[in-house]
């Protein structure tokens, strides 16, 4: 028999590195914010994360300091602090761990009678707490639900597991959604916009080299690149220097903005005629692809990881992300105005990836889990 409170209480645990603030939120923190803001009963949900000065407004947020960081490490120290919090506060009806398999595993051990679900945003085979088959089987057995950011990530989690011994209904897929801020299709400017972390796997250097080769033939166009190694202002590193050197021959046709807040990224996506998302690694999904589509851009991206799940039929997809292939892709978008306009129209008219749709699906998933739970004990 379910003994839920009339309105279920849900605790959401962020990765400790994530800042739950408008100015510095990463992808996970932004998704969690949208799940609460667009979902039902936001007043019953509480986000737990690291201490910050200005958390997102109108959302319950509790900051925790890591417990015995020198012994546990950052994320498990954060999980230990959360367990201490539970000693003195009412228990939730559901704990959602976002992005940290080892935190979910820790809670299963320390609080085995509390229902825990896990949201996975990266390849679990490369994450502490889920690298081995045994670890993933333990998570699947103990958690009430696992929600993956794409079918690609779901397949990564199930890799090597015996499907006959798995409760596959526990593993759900959730495409990320974003708010479409504009009410009508925007008027575009001759800008190629790239936003992403300045790390090699994002492919920004390869895209920059390609654009530097093509853009001089189109003097009315400009390249704008935004991003830093992390979601914060920081001195430029060696990778940024390589990107800067690659686009230096473009002169006033190119600009590097460094880190800019998420809202500023969205403004550039709404202005730019072309947005490039040139990942060269197995991207779990690519939230920036969804944002660019929401802004009505003609999107150039790659067939890596989960990207095609949102980009297929809506973007120009590069199968083999090399500098020559990027050159051909950018040359095609710049020279073929009809194709560029068609992609912009597809991005605008065929956009099911709203934050409201994402939150609605999560509400349904939560309800399905919570209504079947027994009384929890500590």
Tens digit of each residue's pLDDT (9 = 90 or more) over 209-251 = 999 999 999 999 999 999 987 655 667 789 999 999 999 999 9
Q: Evaluate whether residue 32 is within a structural domain.
A: yes
Tell me the residue range of the domain where 314 lies. 189-349
In the numeric block, the tokens 């008219």 are attached to: 349
pLDDT tier for residue 313 given thresholds of 50, 70 and 90: very high
Q: How many CB atoms lie within 10 A of CB 89?
A: 11
pLDDT tier for residue 207 given thresholds of 50, 70 and 90: very high
Q: Evaluate whether residue 22 is within a structural domain.
A: yes
Same domain? For 332 and 362 the reply is: no
Same domain? For 252 and 360 the reply is: no
**Among 59-73, 115-129, 315-329, 341-355, the least confident range:** 59-73
pLDDT at 6 over 90: no
Q: Evaluate whether residue 193 is within a structural domain.
A: yes
Same domain? For 207 and 112 the reply is: no
Residue whose C-alpha is closest to residue 213's, from 299, 327, 325 = 327
Report the percent of the chain where pLDDT is more than 90: 85
Domain containing residue 88: CATH number: 3.40.50.2000
Return the sign of the alpha-carbon dihedral for residues 151, 154, 155, 156.
positive
Same domain? For 100 and 218 the reply is: no
Same domain? For 25 and 94 the reply is: yes
Same domain? For 137 and 250 the reply is: no
CA distance 1 to 131: 36
Q: Evaluate whether residue 3 is within a structural domain.
A: no
Same domain? For 207 and 131 the reply is: no
Same domain? For 223 and 334 the reply is: yes
Same domain? For 291 and 148 the reply is: no
Q: Evaluate whether residue 5 is within a structural domain.
A: no
Same domain? For 71 and 197 the reply is: no
Number of domains observed in the structure of the chain: 2
Q: Evaluate whether residue 95 is within a structural domain.
A: yes
State the pLDDT at residue 228: 85
Same domain? For 212 and 171 the reply is: no
**Mind listing the pLDDT tens digit for each residue in 163-203?**
888 899 999 999 889 999 999 999 999 999 999 999 999 99
**Mind listing the pLDDT tens digit for each residue in 243-276?**
999 999 999 999 999 999 999 999 999 999 999 9
State the pLDDT at residue 118: 98
CA 143 to chain centre: 22
Query: What is the value of pTM for the model shown?
Result: 0.92
CA distance 186 to 345: 10
Same domain? For 151 and 14 the reply is: yes
């Amino acid at each position: 028999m379910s003994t839920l409170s009339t309105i279920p209480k849900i605790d959401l645990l962020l990765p400790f590195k994530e800042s739950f603030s408008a100015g510095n939120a990463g992808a996970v923190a932004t998704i969690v914010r949208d799940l609460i803001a667009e979902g039902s009963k936001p007043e019953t949900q509480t986000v737990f994360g690291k201490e910050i000065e200005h958390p997102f407004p109108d959302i319950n947020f509790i900051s925790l300091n890591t417990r015995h960081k020198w012994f546990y490490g950052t994320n498990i120290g954060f999980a230990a602090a959360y367990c201490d919090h539970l000693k003195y506060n009412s228990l939730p009806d559901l704990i959602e761990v976002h992005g940290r398999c080892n935190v979910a595993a820790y809670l299963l051990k320390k609080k085995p009678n509390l229902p825990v679900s896990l949201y996975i945003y990266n390849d679990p085979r490369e994450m502490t707490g889920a690298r081995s088959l045994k670890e993933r089987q333990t998570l699947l057995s103990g958690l009430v639900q696992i929600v993956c950011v794409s079918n690609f990530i779901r397949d990564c989690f199930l890799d090597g597991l015996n499907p006959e011994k798995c409760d596959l209904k526990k593993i759900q897929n959730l495409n990320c959604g974003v708010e479409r801020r504009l009410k009508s299709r925007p008027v575009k400017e001759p800008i190629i916009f790239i936003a992403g972390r300045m790390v090699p796997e994002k492919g920004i250097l390869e895209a920059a080299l390609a654009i530097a080769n093509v853009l001089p033939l189109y003097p009315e166009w400009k390249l704008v690149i935004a991003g830093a190694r992390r979601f914060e202002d920081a001195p430029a590193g060696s990778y940024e220097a390589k990107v800067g050197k690659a686009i230096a021959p473009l002169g006033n046709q190119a600009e590097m903005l460094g880190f800019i807040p998420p809202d500023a990224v969205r403004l550039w996506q709404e202005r730019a005629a072309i947005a490039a998302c040139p990942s060269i690694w197995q991207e779990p999904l690519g939230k920036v692809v969804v944002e660019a589509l929401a802004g009505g851009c003609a999107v150039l991206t790659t067939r890596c990881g989960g990207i095609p799940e949102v980009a297929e039929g809506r973007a120009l997809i590069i199968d083999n992300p090399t500098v020559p292939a990027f050159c051909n892709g950018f040359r095609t978008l710049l020279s073929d105005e009809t194709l560029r306009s068609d992609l912009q129209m597809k991005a605008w008219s065929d956009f099911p990836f709203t934050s409201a749709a994402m939150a609605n699906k999560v509400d349904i998933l939560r309800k399905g889990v919570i209504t079947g739970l027994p009384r929890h004990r500590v």
